[in-house]
Structures are given as C-alpha cells and as structure tokens.
Structure 1
Amino acid sequence: MNPTHTGTTRTGARTRPGVEVSASDRPRLAPHVRLTFCRTRQRQILLNPETVVVLNDTGADILALCDGRHTVAQIVTELGTRYQTVPDDEVRQYLTRLVARRWVELDDG
C-alpha cells in the first residue's frame, strides 16, 4: 500500500504518513471506514467510500482491536495470545500503511 493522503482528519486524531506508529498510540477506524463480515466472500472486509478491501485473518484481527481504547502494544499482546508469533514491527508497519491511507486514525496514548 502506498500513502495517498496526508493531514489531520479531526481534532485529537491524526494521520502520519511516513512516520511509524508508536506502541503508545491508540488506533481506531476512521469515521468513513467500517469493518464488517461479507457473507458472499466469507471474509472480513473493510468498507470505504468507493473501495472494498478483503482482509486476511490477521489483518481483520488487528482492525477489530482498533477501537481507540487499545494501544498498539496491547494489540500486539492480544494477538500474541491468539498466534504463536506476532512481530511488533510488522503490526506497526501495517497500521502505518492504513494511517497513510486515512483508514485508521491515531490518538496519543
């Protein structure tokens, strides 16, 4: 995924293309984005205006925890209980790409 948008989307929330997400950030889905289950595909999908993103299980699990309450560190810990190994840097890189696309917003931890 390449960064396509920059800027702040609303007070208290920020997007930071090109900057890694920190462990204390609290990610949440942007207001125009929705995580839902697609019966036809039998997969979780991310709905954006004019875009549908079919997610793999790990991506869906990460986004399900992006509720503005969990920190990135807590998300990594929770995923560690579900999977054997969860590389912290890969989760942060994934979230960084979603922030750059303005699909996820960050609140300071």
Structure 2
Amino acid sequence: MLSRTSRPKLAGRARLRWDNRGRRFMLLHPERGLVLNDTAAEIVKLCDGERSVGEIVDHLKSQYGGAPAAKIEERTLRFLDALAERGLFDRNRAW
C-alpha cells in the first residue's frame, strides 16, 4: 500500500498515451489498456519516481482548490493503490 511518502513510478512496461481518435488518455500495459479521465492522467504524469504521493496530492490541491483536501488525498491514494495492485508501478522505486 502506498503512503504520502511513497514515490510512485510507472513500471517499464506501462505507458501513458494520448489517443487522438478517442481524444482521451490511455494507460497501456501488456494485459490491457485503461481509459483515464483528465485528473487520472494528471496523476499518472506526476508518477515519475521523484515526487512523493504527498507532493502529487499537494499539486492536485493547488489545481482543484474547490475540492476538500481530505477527499483529494483519499481518492488519489485509492487510485494509486489500484494501479499498484495491477502491477503498474516499479516496485523497486515506489516504496
């Protein structure tokens, strides 16, 4: 499970791509692709192995100031945990 201090980075086999035809972001990995909304794509873009989850959450709070901070953090952690469960992070870097 990730925490605020985790530094998630996509696994080498996972790729974030823009689908011109569907006009949406897709997170591609060998088994399948995930369609991402704009917020989810923003989170994945920030998963560079350098930023902590806390820094990602703080960035989102500054972007979406109208939303409750606790809700942003809870949803971000839940989303990142779901990606981690699918093996989409480099475990050597994320924890």
**TM tier, shorter chain?**
0.7 to 0.9
Distance 1:44 1:82 in 2: 19
Give the structure with the larger strand fraction: 1
Equivalent positions of 1:48-59 (< 5 A) are 48-59=29-40
What percentage of aligned pairs have identical amino acids? 34
2:79 is the counterpart of 1:98: no
Equivalent in the alignment of 1:45: 26
Equivalent in the alignment of 2:16: 35
Equivalent in the alignment of 1:7: none
Decide whether aligned partners of structure 1 residues 95 and 51 sit closer, same or farther in structure 2, where only a CA change above 3 A counts.
same
Could you state the TM-score of these two structures normalised by the residue count of structure 2?
A: 0.86
Distance 2:41 2:57 in 1: 13
Distance 2:23 2:94 in 1: 34
RMSD between aligned residues:
1.5
Structure 1: where are the runs of 5+ without partners? 1-19
Secondary structure of the corresponding residue to residue 49 of structure 2? coil
Give the C-alpha shift of residue 108 in structure 1.
Answer: 5.8
Equivalent in the alignment of 1:71: 52
Distance 1:94 1:74 in 2: 15
Equivalent in the alignment of 2:61: 80
Give the structure with the larger helix fraction: 2
Structure 2: where are the runs of 5+ without partners? none
Contact 1:26 1:72 in 2 (8 A): yes
Could you state the TM-score of these two structures normalised by the residue count of structure 1?
A: 0.76
- Number of equivalenced pairs: 90
